[in-house]
Chain A
Amino acid sequence: MTKIHAAIVADTDQGVVGQSVPMVDACEKVTGKAIYGADVEMPGMLYGRVLRSPHPHAKILSIDAAEAQRLPGVRAVVTWADTSGELIGFSQYSDHYIFAKDEVRFVGDEVAAVAAVDEDTAHRALKLIKVEYEVLPAVYTLDEAMAPGAPLVHDVTPENIAHQITYSRGDVDAAFAKCDVILEETFETSPAHPAYIEPQACLAAFDAYGNADIYANTQSPGGSIREKTAQVLGLPLGKVRIHQTFLGGGFGGKVWQHIIPATAVLARKAGRPVKMMYSRREDLACTPSRVPMRMKLKMGADRTGRILAKETLVLADNGAYCINSPIVIDTAATRIENLYRFENIRTTAKLIYTNKVSTGTFRGFGNPQGTFMVESMMDMLAKELAMDPAQIRIVNAVHPGYVTAHGWKINSCELEQCIHEVKRISGWEEKRKANRFGYGIGMSCVIHVNGNRSCFPAFDGSTAYISMNESGEAMVMCAEGDLGQGASTVFAQIAAQEIGLPMESVRVLRVDTEYAGFAFGAFASRITVNGGNAVRHAAAAVRRALLETAAGMRGGDVDTFTIHQGIVTDGTGWSATVAEVSLQYIYAHAGTNLRCDGFFIPPDVVIADKVTKYGNISCAYSFAAHVAEVEVDKDTGKVEVLNYYAVHDAGKLINPMLAEGQIEGGVAQGIGFALYENYCYGTDGHMLNNSFLDYKLPTFKDVPKITTGFAQGCDPVGPMGAKGLGEPTIVPVASAIGNALADALGERITQMPFTAEKVKGVVRRVMAQAAKEGQA
């Protein structure tokens, strides 16, 4: 670790870290006082709405907004011409505009936007904008898009291949030759929407000097969306200020939000603040879903279950534009190859453009897809080898000190402990004996990162500062922000413990890029390790400065002073409150508050090689083992998850209650993903199920009892031994349920989601086969 940080002195075995304290902002949330994206108001505020393409693929011949502009109450209509005109997107994959320039590529593509004095007027104005289209041929599926001579989604991209990687490790052909068993299967995952309950929302205003002032429910206030907004506005980055409001969930869907630059462009043209919130239908149909993938996998093992070789072809449906999908598919291909001691790998992954809504990030970032493929195959191999599925995982598990095929340096790792513990709490051995048609139990494991050095070439890490006010309260600002998962609480616990304050003396400020440092935000499960360490370093520096100030007040050797529960003592009976010491600091520094910065640079990480994908991308890795028990209704095919067990290695926990909550929520989302969440399209490229009536989220009645557990562990890099937990919770759920279902039916469904209709088809076939064999 870097040496410039103050020495970290607090005792990590006592105090508030490790305690299930309630969320620090829970009171605002239960009283309705928390201000979310759509709750922000400003004097003179207008309401914005977006005009979207009704066609899956068309040339824009003309846009005539004259009539809309004449409608009383309309203050601005904007199109591509009101932006800087630059292509935006994910680095070298920049392939779109915030409003279409001359071509639309999916039903819902942004064409124009209106700001008006009320929502109804904005809505009416949209209908008055005349857009002349020349409809072009469209492609909707991987097969259509990859067919020879298929219409191109982007003229400049041959074969509709947005991105492609191919790499290999070891000697795959020789390794396959040594295998005792080789299996091949194709797996498909469905698109699923993050479906945060609060749709995307934003309020944008401009000051008299042309600076943008934006309030948004974004999970990455200082990250790429701020940069993109500046780019679309043609402004230097420093002129775009983003305030993070409370977020009604994000789950990866609020990292990269078109609504932010779109609202800003409207506000600039209207010369007044503009608020915009998507409708639920708009949010479901027009913002990115998880990237759906078709994955062909060939895997071979020796008699002991040791995996010797793996060959994979991943095809992913990108939709119309690249948001973060290139790294999502890289993740789907590579990440799972670090869970086990794979040595011989050959992988090709292709990201294919189609005329559908862009796909992108949702909790897990490609890892649920890759994990579904490999963890299903692990069970298939176990069955073929007559092994316990838990055992084949243990045989192949990575361990501390192991360097994976991709160069990942496994540091703390309690994967085996997770497997043993989940077996114990689920009653695995006993329940596996059940062997009853219709009942099944299945396991799946996960490895996940704590930040990904490859996401942003310039740097990785995090920054925070803590300022002590006159009352001895620590004001913590960490630019990463809180997307509702409880980051603020974790930061507060770390700061309280490190400085020696009671929890109530710590306040975590909401992110405002004007005052916060530069940060990427909440994704890649990076907050606890990155943000947490930055806060911890800032807190350690504050503590040191408080001790020095106290030593100056009292006289004596600073090392004899200590702080506990907000009281500074020197061991002689003298004491002062932190408030007194903080105030003394202010007086002694001409009014300057005691303020210390902290930052964290993940040690020993590199940007993965662009071509080979080799390199240690994260400074810590999280693990888990999950077990699902299912019962199939043999008449209807409906799958019921009876019980669910999840044991995670998240290092030493900062807050067990919040950690359990992460698991329970991630598992519930995984159940929806596994059983029913999906996108249905009409033949004309319209999404048919773009409402909560037909896009099914698990309700209260659909989530079973989830039993959580934690491996005893401690990470050497994470703050106070902790690791991240946000994403790994959802990653293994679909494969655990899929494996349980295969156990229940004796036949595997390889295409998600496992709908009742699909399952019934298998039940019918299996029962018919059994009847035939019975007769024979």
Chain B
Amino acid sequence: MIEPFVYYTPAAVAEAVQLLGQRSAKLIAGGTDVLVQMQEGLLSPEALVDISGIDALKGIREETEHVVIGAAATHHEVMEWAHNLPQYAALAEASGSVGTPQVRNIATVAGNLCNAVPSADLGAPVLLYNSSLTLASANGSRQLPAIEFFTGPKKTALLPGEMVLSIRLTAPPVGCASAYCKHGPRKASDLAMVGVAAMVGLDDNSAVTSLVIGLNAVAPTPILVQGCEQLVGQVMSLSLLDRCARMAAQQCRPITDYRAGAEYRRDMVGVLTKRALERCAAKLGKEVREDG
């Protein structure tokens, strides 16, 4: 059962942050994660503040250097928007792998981040874009780098009374493509056992102009693979894939639980890293070269 709560539907952000500051309130947009937890008795907030009706938080806005995903934007909207935008494909593919089509129609990207379970699909993709989150509370607003947002399993840097207004992505340089690879037991509707997001830029000679790799479900938070920038200038080759896979596998810190063993997860980080990079190259119309 869902314990009773007071339900608020603020029309503006100012009203929403006032409500969040006032009492033990939980914010919902799509509400798909929160409602399941409430049905299970894991959450019983005194109030729910539903921000899905706030116009300022809706939709996805493209600016010259940035893309702003509103806190009320659903996975479905992100999939539609990023369709045919190879540089944002990681987002579309991650959103497209969350839950079921029905869930994606109401669940939001921001909600996926705020839920902050290690398997959340949007974590690593958002990290690819040097993103920041615009947070607001009754005391004002602030920008927080996305990498600092995740502090542990189901834990974020949100202060009491604070909410996410939007996710602000830095537009990647021209000529980049991204991808999200996910591994689960089935072909649909699975939680990520491992998720790897990658973004690659290649010049005409298939030399790497930019490279970012993010990992889901193999650490307490989504993480970026460190040291990728040092690979800029190298040719997209099988040995480069191997090197990236090794780096990713070394840097992840998976656990063993009933869904998978830690060593298997580590192994899959390597496999999926290669696949994500290969897919990026393919989207750029480039082949991964044999070495030597």
Contact = CB atoms under 8 A, between A and B. Distances in A.
A700 B188 contact: yes
Interface string A281-323: 1000000000000000000000000000000000000000000
Given A636-B271, A699-B188, A701-B188, A757 B1 contact: no
Given A635-B271, A689-B258, A699 B185 contact: no
A760 B264 contact: yes
A123 interface: yes
Contacts of B258: 680, 688-689, 694
A698 B187 CA distance: 9
A756 B185 contact: yes
Interface string B235-261: 000000000000000000000001111
A676 B186 contact: yes
B268 interface: yes
Contacts of B186: 676, 696, 698-699, 701-702
B188 A119 contact: no
Interface string B151-189: 000000000000000000000000000000001011111
Interface in A105-126: 119-120, 123-124
Interface in B62-76: none
B183 A675 contact: no
A727 B185 CA distance: 26
Given A119-B1, A120-B1, A676 B185 contact: yes
Contacts of B268: 636
B15 interface: no
B18 to A, nearest CB: 30
A281 B268 CA distance: 30
Contacts of B40: 281
Interface in B262-283: 264, 267-268, 271, 275
Contacts of B267: 760
A674 to B, nearest CB: 12
A123 B185 CA distance: 34
Contacts of A123: 1
B194 to A, nearest CB: 9
Given A119-B1, A688-B258, A636 B185 contact: no
Interface string B1-38: 10000000000000000000000000000000000000
Q: Bin chain B's interface residue count.
A: 10 to 19
A757 B260 contact: yes
Given A120-B1, A636-B271, A689-B258, A675 B185 contact: yes
A168 interface: no
Nearest to B260: A757
B261 A757 contact: yes
Nearest to B187: A701
B189 A699 contact: yes
Contacts of A760: 264, 267
B90 interface: no
A755 interface: yes
Nearest to A119: B1
A693 interface: yes
A689 B275 CA distance: 29
A635 B275 CA distance: 10
A699 B187 contact: yes
B191 interface: yes
Contacts of A699: 186-189
Contact of B187 (A680, A694, A702): A702
B183 to A, nearest CB: 6
A124 B4 CA distance: 12
Contacts of B185: 638, 675-676, 696, 755-756
A124 to B, nearest CB: 8
A99 to B, nearest CB: 22
B290 to A, nearest CB: 18
A698 B186 CA distance: 7
Contacts of A680: 258
Contacts of B187: 699, 701-702
Nearest to A281: B40
B165 to A, nearest CB: 29
A772 B33 CA distance: 49
Chain A CB count within 10 A is highest, among B40, B187, B190, B259, for B187
A702 B191 CA distance: 15
A696 B275 CA distance: 25
A721 B171 CA distance: 70
Chain A CB count within 10 A is highest, among B40, B186, B267, B271, for B186
B89 to A, nearest CB: 20
A689 B185 CA distance: 13
Contacts of A676: 185-186
Nearest to B190: A696
A680 B185 CA distance: 15
A473 to B, nearest CB: 41
Contacts of A119: 1
Contacts of A698: 186
Interface string B99-140: 000000000000000000000000000000000000000000
Nearest to A121: B1
Contacts of A694: 191, 258-259
Contacts of B189: 699
A696 B1 CA distance: 24
A48 to B, nearest CB: 14
B188 to A, nearest CB: 4
Contacts of B271: 635-636
A86 B190 CA distance: 45
Nearest to A672: B186
Interface string A681-704: 000000011000110101111100
A638 B261 CA distance: 15
A443 to B, nearest CB: 25
B28 to A, nearest CB: 19
A700 B100 CA distance: 11
B59 to A, nearest CB: 29
Given A689-B258, A760-B267, A636 B183 contact: yes
Contacts of A281: 40
Contacts of B1: 119-120, 123-124
B238 to A, nearest CB: 14
Contacts of B259: 694
A38 to B, nearest CB: 16
A508 to B, nearest CB: 34
Given A119-B1, A757-B260, A693 B188 contact: no
B188 A757 contact: no
Contacts of B261: 757
A693 B186 CA distance: 11
A280 to B, nearest CB: 10
Nearest to A123: B1
Nearest to B267: A760
What 8 A-B pairs have minimum CB-CB distances, sorted nearest first?
A680-B258, A701-B187, A635-B271, A123-B1, A701-B188, A676-B185, A757-B264, A699-B188
Given A675-B185, A699-B189, A702-B187, 16 more contacts: A120-B1, A124-B1, A635-B271, A636-B271, A676-B185, A676-B186, A693-B191, A698-B186, A699-B186, A699-B187, A699-B188, A701-B186, A701-B188, A702-B186, A702-B188, A756-B183
24 contacts: A120-B1, A124-B1, A281-B40, A635-B271, A635-B275, A636-B183, A636-B271, A638-B185, A676-B185, A689-B258, A693-B191, A694-B191, A698-B186, A699-B187, A699-B188, A701-B187, A701-B188, A702-B186, A702-B188, A755-B185, A756-B183, A756-B185, A757-B261, A760-B267
